[in-house]
A and B are shown apart, each in its own frame.
Chain A
């Protein structure tokens, strides 16, 4: 029993790490632009496909392919911010609707370009096993957890100790005041959008070799990422990390007691249950007049 539990906790941390990567992008973008990008899931998918494309067509190196994919999706994010989300700023409903349009456009463009079938992405690290006691995990599993933790730490240090990170935090706190003290708010916004998109692409490249690359691969991480940021408190970076990990571990451990078919619903029930008693999320603060 304890071994099964440990196994599910490690699996949960792995999936939770993926959710955290998505949630971090969402929360950073929400912070500086006050928009929830529902198209974040298709950027995840696009990242997975581009990583697979670079890996199979250009360089036979997983890390180079991942980096190239992150760069290209970052550029896509930049284009989306300039072309779609900035012109719609201030109109919450239209921003959301435009991002729904982007979901359709991207997801079906991926199907039209690469076909509806799942692609295999063979990477050596998914074959090598590490044993922890009697349990065995692939290097890739543990690598995802380690890499995400490293990314979180790096991001935390970047936000806390660099000039640009401080500018991002200032813009999240109060956009007008940031403008008054001379922070280039527009530059902060597009670069944050690009950074968030690149994090989503990283998530896509990390799970691609484990669970195949397919057109709907971003749907579940998107909704889990959204649930994660709601749970952690909208706009809170540590909240997004904790929220994503809680969701990942809860749904993994729940499979020990309940049918796996309901795994996704359990995460949402946990989310709705917690939010009913704490609508501002675990870390969030209630701001008067905040939508």
Chain B
């Protein structure tokens, strides 16, 4: 009876624990810092999970689109003095539209060709960020990006300067990303997407407008990447081209795959592991990435559903489905 509600109960507990982090980790700002970093990674990872896990589209230029969002928001907030909220919306719109248009070019290619062309577009976007000095301030980075302006409500003021306050914003954005993912996956659109991933030709013959659906999911995914880019630059207070390189795009794929592509919780597991593992192992950054690379290979070899899949399997082992459950007793 309560078995079917367990996932929701677990989700509630996890959310309570995360929302309570500023209190239980009050003595360790470091933990909070790690959680914010994980949120910054999770938002674009959810976008990529929609494309890669649910739609089957492997994009190797994802962080290029996060860069579009980041720089659009940076220019709007610094040069045009926009507030944070409208800047985020504009950044998501810009990244999503750019993603949709570029994906239309990429969809002329299939399989390997598609991945290579997305990689090429990611590199071109990075080259623009690195070299268009007049707007992006070039390789030195775009410094002086403000934190969101304080929110006033009566006498109370909520400024985003202190880490716990910024953490609330980051967590809220991560939750929004997951809600978007949940809504997309559990809609008719999401089911058609799954059909396209499993067999594109069959889906088309059943009347699914595959090009429209693939373009749409690409636009949603890149818009989420743009949101993650804004979150990142307003956290670091600088937009640097080095955050949006090919290697960062590859890291994003790795987070999604290690977490479990196509599972709802996968991006969160992947991002948390990505941030927490080096601290647990007390290793230098290089060895962390070596271990992650090897893990990625091992996961593709032995656990294609990632950590989320492993957790689900362990769960079934601990609580095996009961044979005399009411569901199976029905005729």
Contacts and interface: CB of A to CB of B under 8 A. Distances in A.
Contact of A105 (B110, B120, B290): B290
Contact of A112 (B108, B131, B254, B287): B287
Contacts of B135: none
B105 A102 contact: no
A84 B297 contact: yes
Contacts of A279: 108-109, 113
Contacts of A268: 120-121, 123-124
A265 B127 CA distance: 7
Q: How large is the interface on A (under 10, 10 to 19, 20 to 34, 35 or more residues)?
A: 35 or more
Interface in A113-150: none
B127 A98 contact: no
Contacts of B123: 223, 264-265, 268
B241 to A, nearest CB: 11
A100 B116 contact: no
B195 interface: no
B300 A94 contact: yes
Interface string B291-331: 01111110011001000000000000000000000000000
Interface in B93-121: 105, 108-113, 115-117, 119-121
B275 interface: no
A265 B120 CA distance: 8
A276 B106 CA distance: 9
A230 B56 CA distance: 22
A106 interface: yes
Interface string B270-302: 000000000000001111111011111100110
Contacts of B127: 261-262, 264-265
B294 A105 contact: yes
A30 B254 CA distance: 23
- B-side interface mostly: helix
Interface in B187-217: none
Given A97-B253, A291-B110, A272 B301 contact: no
B281 to A, nearest CB: 14
B173 to A, nearest CB: 26
A22 interface: no
A36 B290 contact: no
A45 B20 CA distance: 46
Interface stretch (A11-19, A85-93, A176-184, A198-206): A85-93
B222 interface: no
27 contacts: A88-B300, A97-B253, A98-B300, A98-B301, A101-B294, A101-B300, A102-B297, A103-B247, A104-B250, A104-B251, A104-B254, A108-B286, A108-B287, A108-B290, A109-B286, A112-B284, A219-B246, A223-B123, A226-B120, A227-B116, A227-B120, A230-B116, A234-B112, A265-B127, A275-B109, A275-B117, A291-B110
Given A88-B300, A100-B250, A111-B286, A269 B124 contact: yes
Nearest to A113: B286
A230 B131 CA distance: 26
Interface of B: 56, 58, 60, 105, 108-113, 115-117, 119-121, 123-124, 127-128, 130-131, 246-247, 250-251, 253-254, 257, 284-290, 292-297, 300-301, 304
A210 interface: no
A271 interface: yes
A96 interface: yes
Contact of A36 (B112, B131, B246): B112
Given A104-B250, A112-B284, A93 B124 contact: no
Nearest to B106: A272
Contacts of A30: 112
A132 B177 CA distance: 61
A291 B112 contact: yes
Interface string A244-270: 000000000000000101101100110
B113 A234 contact: yes
A104 B290 contact: yes
Interface in A57-109: 84, 87-88, 92-98, 100-109
A104 B258 CA distance: 14
Nearest to B133: A261
A103 B293 contact: yes
Contacts of B119: 223, 226
A226 B127 CA distance: 18
Contacts of A230: 113, 116-117
Contacts of A259: 131
B292 A272 contact: no
B293 A97 contact: no
